[in-house]
Amino acid sequence: MKFREIYKKTVEILSSQTQDAEFEAMCLMEKVFGITRTQYYLKADEEAEADKCAEMIKYSERRVSGEPLQYILGQWEFMGRTFFVGKGVLIPRPETEIIVEAALDFIKDKTAPVVFDLCSGSGCIGISIAAARPDSTVYLLEKSSDAISFLRKNIQLNNIQNIHVLKGDIFSDFNTVNMLKPDLIVSNPPYIESDTIPFLQKEVLEEPRMALDGGKDGLDFYRAISEHWLPLLNINGAVIVECGENQGERICSIFKQNSRIKSASYKLDYNGNERMVSAHADS
């Protein structure tokens, strides 16, 4: 089979599952044949190795059965960096980049800031901050062993030194870090309402429920952050969290109930959806 033919066949198979069949097929070509898009166009009429064509079909079938493209590729881009992903860890979303941008903006005038990334998953938020600010110290808290193994590989892959991984639960392990005063707490916690989870897109259901399920109203983790973690904030510290649609107002009021917090507000992402809440501590 020629490169052109296996590409076309892959697009055909993927079309039943996704509207992005051409993009996804090219991602699989890049993975399987180790070629760039440009190289593909140059080689289109050359013969492709048969075993690799078989691999393309196998991956396409996995994709059609509902597995996320990112898990099949085994890696994904976030903030211009590569992160390993796979079963057991939430896939980094482009919308989450606004959390990192706001975090970097908040610490831009602080020297050697201490940052906590709670429920860090793949580590995409904390690692991006640590990489951009080598003088910072970033602590990543994660409960899932599966996620932690990706996290550690991602720290290595991105060659980050100023980072520490803590295995722990946001609801109970706040005491393990009570000697540290974070200047900034960041988090993309699970925030989907438990009852709506069965109705999510099939691909999202392949992701760990633990990374999605925010309890009955989706806000359990924000209450835990407010109650257990905001009291640790350094003076003039802040918390910046990702949120879901129609949660901004309610999360602001949860944070404002904490006496350490003097102001809270929410922001929309580039698609116009409520995506981020930030709150500032007293001085």
Give the sheet arrangement for strand 261-268, strand by strand.
Answer: 163-167, 137-142, 114-118, 184-187, 238-242, 274-281, 261-268
As measured in angstroms, the least distance from the Cβ of 245 to ligand GLN is 9
Query: Both tokens of residue 31?
Result: 């993975």
Task: Give the helix/strand (H/E) hosting 209.
Answer: none
Question: Contact region for ligand GLN (CB under 6 A) — 66-74, 146-154, 176-184, 189-197?
Answer: 189-197
For ligand GLN, the closer of residues 196 and 263 by Cβ is: 196
Looking at residue 119, the DSSP 8-state letter turns out to be S
Helix 3-14 crosses helix 21-33 at what angle (to 10 degrees)? Answer: 130
Contact call for residue 204 and ligand GLN (CB under 6 A): yes
The Cα 112–Cα 107 span in angstroms is 9
Residue 3, Cβ neighbours under 10 Å: how many?
22
As measured in angstroms, the least distance from the Cβ of 92 to ligand GLN is 10
As measured in angstroms, the least distance from the Cβ of 272 to ligand GLN is 15
Contact call for residue 188 and ligand GLN (CB under 6 A): yes
For ligand GLN, the closer of residues 137 and 188 by Cβ is: 188
Specify which residues 117 forms β-bridges with.
140, 186
Contact call for residue 144 and ligand GLN (CB under 6 A): no
Residues 47-106 that bind ligand GLN (CB under 6 A): 93
121 neighbors 89 (Cβ within 8 angstroms): yes
- Return the closest-CA partner of residue 283 out of 237, 214, 220, 239: 237
For ligand GLN, the closer of residues 142 and 242 by Cβ is: 242
Specify which residues 95 forms β-bridges with.
none
Contact call for residue 212 and ligand GLN (CB under 6 A): yes
- Count of residues engaged in binding ligand GLN, rule: CB under 6 A: 9
Contact call for residue 192 and ligand GLN (CB under 6 A): yes
As measured in angstroms, the least distance from the Cβ of 93 to ligand GLN is 5
The Cα 266–Cα 247 span in angstroms is 9
For ligand GLN, the closer of residues 57 and 197 by Cβ is: 197
Backbone angles phi, psi at 165, to 5 degrees: -100, 130
Specify which residues 184 forms β-bridges with.
115, 238
For ligand GLN, the closer of residues 237 and 244 by Cβ is: 244
Question: Contact region for ligand GLN (CB under 6 A) — 16-24, 45-53, 149-157, 184-192?
Answer: 184-192
List 191, 229, 255, 266, residue binding ligand GLN (CB under 6 A): 191
For ligand GLN, the closer of residues 26 and 276 by Cβ is: 276
Question: Contact region for ligand GLN (CB under 6 A) — 33-41, 69-77, 97-105, 188-196?
Answer: 188-196
Question: Looking at 75-169, which runs of residues are DSSP E strands?
Answer: 75-78, 81-84, 114-118, 137-142, 163-167
Residues 238-257 that bind ligand GLN (CB under 6 A): 242
Interface with ligand GLN (CB under 6 A): 93, 188-192, 204, 212, 242
